[in-house]
Chains A and B, each alone.
Chain A
């Protein structure tokens, strides 16, 4: 097993030498190769050099620990700010309860007429796929529970969505097994799961 031009079996020996696991016989064999073959000698020297170079540890940038601790402190402070004082004073509590109760009451009553949700935007997603049996779409907007699309006469699969403004990742599922990002999406990102996600960013 050799990859060097001289075809001597030096790779295995250098490998064991790098781990300090050469047997006495192997050590002798290595010496012989180095003594007799210039290509082997070069490779052995290179291997030693690599080992020595990588052993050196680079110094840590100054102030690293301080920077980390500062960020750790920042992690904690939002939580601290949210801690409520354990002793609730009774007067503000009851007044607060009444006020909130009033608001909730009015919202429940008037819900149908004055929706708190933002108006939705109509979006159409398409995928050309004449040969596909089924095409579905899964994304942040449907909890990644794929919804089957309809194939038009032009061979293009379509679906209409009504979504509040926001940023949504999604992908198409072809024939229930092949995940495909939307080729028409402006932004495509790595999903982290082996394929890509398309991104839908809608505003009013």
Chain B
């Protein structure tokens, strides 16, 4: 325990405090990891309401099972696993027949477009937002196995080793899935851009 990097030592300390009855100590863990769990949920489910729902559940589950958490192992990956399981089951239930398009989010729930800091040109802002929606749809079209690896790498920026450990996969499998995910995503985006361009041309 002495040799733990400071980040993990903090977590172990917080866990110890919670287990001795200090509920508020759990807030330290929530504050630290909420954003990354929420973003994982957001990228996996495609909307903020479900992402918050999932993130809350993940932390509650973690709290409930804290007693069984092996002291000395890392908290973040363990929390991740819980979150991923919840995402997976959410996605399983939400799959509707193909002919139904996913319903749109409310205006307020949509992400801010990732524009650099300058006065937003309204037309540019609109284009950027639509492009991002296209990206979200394309990600949602990825098979779950590819989507997970892709999001963990691109959005959560985990290393190959971390992803492999989290998902219980060999490194080689992670690499292959990531490659296929990227290739499929680019193809999907190109195809939908082509459709939009030809529709506009008519």
Contacts and interface: CB of A to CB of B under 8 A. Distances in A.
A contacts B: CB pair < 8 Å: yes
Interface residues of B, number: 44
Interface stretch (A65-73, A116-124, A155-163, A169-177): A65-73
Contacts of B63: 72, 75
A47 B154 CA distance: 11
A94 interface: no
Contact of B38 (A18, A51, A64, A76): A64
A192 B151 CA distance: 23
Interface in A1-52: 3-4, 11-12, 14-15, 18-19, 42-43, 46-47, 49-52
Interface stretch (A54-62, A129-137, A145-153, A178-186): A54-62
Contacts of B64: 75
A67 B48 CA distance: 15
B111 A58 contact: yes
A53 interface: yes
Contacts of B155: 54-55, 57
Contact of B30 (A4, A54, A68): A68
Given A68-B30, A68-B60, A50 B189 contact: yes
A-B pairs, top 9 by smallest CB distance, nearest first, are A56-B114, A54-B154, A54-B155, A65-B30, A11-B183, A60-B35, A15-B179, A68-B59, A57-B39
Interface residues of A, number: 37
Nearest to B93: A190
Contacts of A15: 178-179, 182-183
17 contacts: A11-B182, A11-B186, A15-B182, A42-B190, A46-B189, A46-B190, A49-B131, A51-B154, A53-B135, A54-B43, A55-B114, A58-B112, A61-B48, A64-B52, A68-B59, A68-B60, A72-B59
A43 B38 CA distance: 30
Q: Please report whether the interface of chain B is mostly helix, strand, loop or mixed according to DSSP.
A: helix
A65 B34 contact: yes
B30 A11 contact: no
Q: Please report whether the interface of chain A is mostly helix, strand, loop or mixed according to DSSP.
A: helix
A60 B183 contact: no
B24 interface: yes
Contact of B135 (A3, A50, A69): A50
A72 B154 contact: no
Contacts of B161: none
B23 A73 contact: yes
B35 A57 contact: yes
Among B30, B157, B189, the most chain A Cβ lie within 10 Å of the Cβ of: B30
Contacts of B39: 57-58
Contacts of A53: 114, 132, 135
Among A4, A58, A68, the most chain B Cβ lie within 10 Å of the Cβ of: A68
Contacts of B36: 57
